[in-house]
């Protein structure tokens, strides 16, 4: 039986040639490689091009996306969507809660205020085993899920712009 969660999206509005920005936090390099692999595979299927921008941690992702959106638009090469990829592992302090909540809030604020298609692939996990289960394309493929979310939102935006 096919996994319904990973079934192709019903909205097939064309996004071929779309420019997608991936901003990744390279705090956990191996986990990040797996997240990026999943996202890139989905973008290839959709026919979208991409740029990758690397930042130190998850808190820097929303600001980097905002800076890149503005710079790309000013240069006449605007981005159509963005994907945030990173991993925050719970530790012994409240730092986990701050980073996970604030990075998520920053992404939501950015997506809503700018009406910008964005997929959130920042893992928030209790341990490294949970991170690997979510990052691997052969398991939960959260990098691929974030790309599919960005693609879905871009399709909605383009479909409604034509209505």
Contact present, 117 and 82 (Cβ < 8 Å): yes
147 is in an annotated binding site: no
Concatenated DSSP letters of 9-72? PS-----TT-EEEEEEETTSHHHHHHHHHHHHHHHHHHT-EEEEEEESSGGGHHHHHHHHHHHH
- The residue that leads in pLDDT, 15 or 60, is 60
Confidence grade of residue 163 (pLDDT, cut at 50, 70, 90): confident
Judge whether 91 lies within some domain: yes
| Strand pairing report for 81-89 and 19-25 | parallel
99 is in an annotated binding site: no
pLDDT digits (tens, 9 = 90+) for 127-140: 999 999 999 999 99
Confidence grade of residue 10 (pLDDT, cut at 50, 70, 90): low
User: Structural domain tally of the chain?
Assistant: 1
What is the domain range of residue 121? 18-162
Catalytic residues: 95
pTM, full prediction: 0.92
CATH number at residue 23: 3.40.50.960
134 is in an annotated binding site: yes
Judge whether 12 lies within some domain: no
Contact present, 39 and 146 (Cβ < 8 Å): yes
């Amino acid at each position: 039986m096919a996994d319904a969660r990973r079934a192709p999206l019903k909205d097939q509005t064309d996004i071929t040639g779309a420019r997608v920005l991936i901003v990744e936090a390279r705090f956990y390099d191996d986990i990040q490689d797996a997240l990026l692999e999943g996202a890139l595979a989905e973008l290839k299927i959709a026919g979208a091009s991409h740029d990758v921008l690397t930042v130190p941690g998850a808190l820097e992702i929303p600001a980097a996306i905002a800076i890149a959106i503005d710079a790309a638009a000013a240069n006449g090469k605007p981005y159509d969507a963005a994907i945030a990829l990173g991993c925050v592992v719970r530790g012994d302090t409240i730092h986990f809660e701050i980073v996970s909540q604030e990075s998520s809030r920053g992404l939501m604020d950015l997506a809503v205020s700018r009406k910008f298609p964005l997929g959130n692939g920042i893992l928030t996990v209790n341990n490294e085993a949970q991170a690997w289960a979510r990052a691997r394309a052969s398991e939960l493929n959260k990098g691929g899920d974030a790309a599919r979310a960005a693609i879905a939102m871009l399709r909605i935006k383009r479909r409604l712009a034509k209505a």
